Structure 1
Amino acid sequence: MSVRTGVYAAPSTDGIALMDIRAGRGQWRFLDPVGARLWQKITDGANPATAIDDLTAYWRSKGADPTQVRTDLTALADDLERAKLLHHAALAVQLGRPEIRFATPVPVSAAQQLAGHAGLFVALLLLRLLPIRIAVACARAATFLPGRAALPQEAEAAFAAVRRAARLWPGRAACLEESLAAHFAAALTGHRVRWVIGARFIPQGAHAWIEAGTAIIGQDETDRVWPYVPALQVERSN
């Protein structure tokens, strides 16, 4: 199977979440462990019919009705093929055990606040008017601006600047807009953060955030249930 750009995978013991950014604002597809196993076999190179035969035999050995298993797996494989998701996806790497840093008031300089406004403007423009793949491409381009990897407190200042700027903008800036804006704001002040989009399985949901090292920045203590599994990570590779 060939690698398809624009599809990212967040694997977990609870299944796999596929993030497709090839069109519009992107789309998530959650597969349970059975569906994830089928997807993995096919994307590893197995013929779909062979993968279905193998998994049907496996579940028959566990006492499941083979006719129903085959029907369900065939329908899933056909559905994934129509969505062009039966191809290798990019896999994110979890860097160590993450440290969750909740949003707290931090000092923000005038330059950081200006960067917060600029970053938010660009993020809103990209995410509200253009396909998400363009926002991802711009986020990658921002990693090549001069600068160094941000310390956690520097990333917190970029996030706080965006939060303050968002109070003056009409409408609500959700996690996707805030995190992308903080990614840009950090880059404009000579710092690099990691922009991450990921998923959780119980309950199912998606989230976006920034990281500095192994620290996850700017989370609301009562708003998010972790762990989220990264699917897409934007950072400088060297």
Structure 2
Amino acid sequence: MTRTGLYAALAPQGVALLDTRHGRGHWRFLDPVGAQLWLEITRGSTPAHAVATLTARWEAKGADAGQVRTDLTALAADLDTAGLLLPAHRPDQRAEQPGVRFAAAAPAGVPTRLAGHAGLFGALVLLRCLPVRFALTAARATTRLPGRAATVAQAEAVFAAVRRAARWWPGRAACLEESLAAHFTAALTCHRVTWVIGARFTPHGAHAWIETEGHVIGQEETDRVWPYMPALKVERSH
């Protein structure tokens, strides 16, 4: 699929759309009915046909057809105005959720610590000074560097190095900056991790993290409610 800059996280609770075409990126959350409309249209139906199909489906369940049609027509127009009625890239969904490993004070050698500073600097410049699409381009470019997939211990050392480096930089490094920095740091130390941006639905929220060997690395035990569903993954193509 040609990249459109639009990414989707799908769940029974709806769909979360990440638009990376402008600025730092924008999330749009749709409930299950809105997600059905978006899926119908992006699979090839016209908005009018999709509205008619869903209206008939909900009328058969006892809903007021006029109200359903009005609401869906308004939503379709709103999504069209926002440029969101496009096919979105969706990462492959695993049968099982990855395990979540909490942040640990993992040991990191001098090369990894230095790489942590370089990785964080690159992430901060890209994410604070440029539109997010440049960060995505840089992250994808690093997947072409030589290296092996990081073990959990190696990924934890990388993440710990980024956390240590962040203490020396002004401002707060949020999950997006930390995770991208860890992705870069791993590449600089000849390792690979997967950079992931995703969303949750109850309550609505977005998050970014790294994964390796089927584990989410470096999470705060009291800070995040899982599961998050991935919308975008940056990893080496197989």
| TM-score, with structure 2 as normaliser | 0.98
Report matched runs for 1:33-44 at 5 Å: 33-44=32-43
Per-residue deviation, residues 88-130 of structure 1 (Å, max 9, x unmatched): 1000123443010000111010000000000000000000000
Counterpart Cα distance in 2 of 1:212 and 1:33:
31
Q: Where do residues 1-238 of structure 1 align in structure 2 (5 Å cutoff)?
A: 5-95=4-94, 96-238=96-238
Q: Write the letter of the residue equivalent to 1:18.
A: L
| CA pair 175-72 structure 1, distance change in 2 beyond 3 A | same
Counterpart amino acid of residue 131 in structure 1: P
Q: Which letter maps to 1:64?
A: A
Any unmatched runs of 5+ in structure 1?
none
3-state SS in 2 of match to 1:199? strand
Q: Number of aligned pairs? A: 237
Q: Would the aligned equivalents of 1:115 and 1:188 in 2 still touch at CA under 8 Å?
A: yes
**What letter matches 1:87 in structure 2?**
L
Contact residue 8 and residue 232 of structure 1 kept, 8 A = yes
Q: Which runs of 5+ in 2 are unaligned?
A: none
1:3, 1:88 within 8 Å by CA — same for their partners in 2?
A: no
Q: 1:65, CA displacement in angstroms?
A: 1.0
Q: Secondary structure at the match of 2:62?
A: coil
**After TM superposition, where is structure 1 displaced by more than 2 Å over at least 4 residues in a row?**
94-97
**Partner SS, residue 85 of structure 1:** coil
Contact 2:97 2:227 (C-alpha < 8 Å) held by counterparts: no
Change (3 A) 1:4 1:184: closer
Instruction: Note the C-alpha offset of 1:4.
Output: 5.4
Is the contact made by 1:42 and 1:86 (CA closer than 8 Å) also made in structure 2?
yes
SS of 1:231 mapped into structure 2: strand
Q: What does the per-residue CA deviation read over 1:170-225, in whole Å, with 9 as the maximum and x for residues that have no partner?
A: 10000000000000000000000000000000000000000002110000000000
Distance in structure 1 (CA, Å) of the matches to 2:66 and 2:186: 55
Give the residue type in structure 1 aligned to 2:82. A
| One-letter identity of the residue aligned with 1:203 | P
What does the per-residue CA deviation read over 1:112-170, in whole Å, with 9 as the maximum and x for residues that have no partner?
00000000000000000000000000000011111111111111111000000001111
Partners of 2:146 and 2:59 in 1: CA distance:
58
Q: How high is the sequence identity, in percent, across the aligned residues? A: 66
Conserved 8 A contact 1:4-1:88: no
Amino acid in the other structure paired with 1:199: A
* Farther off after superposition, 28-37 or 58-67: 58-67
For the residue of structure 1 that corresponds to 2:9, the secondary structure is: strand
Q: Distance in 1 between matches of 2:28 and 2:231?
A: 12
| TM-score normalised by L of structure 1 | 0.98
Give, in angstroms, the shift of residue 33 of structure 1. 0.2
Matched letter for residue 94 of structure 1: Q
Q: Is the 8 A contact 1:3 1:87 kept in 2?
A: no
Instruction: Return the offset for 1:83.
Output: 1.1
Distance 1:168 1:236, change over 3 A: same
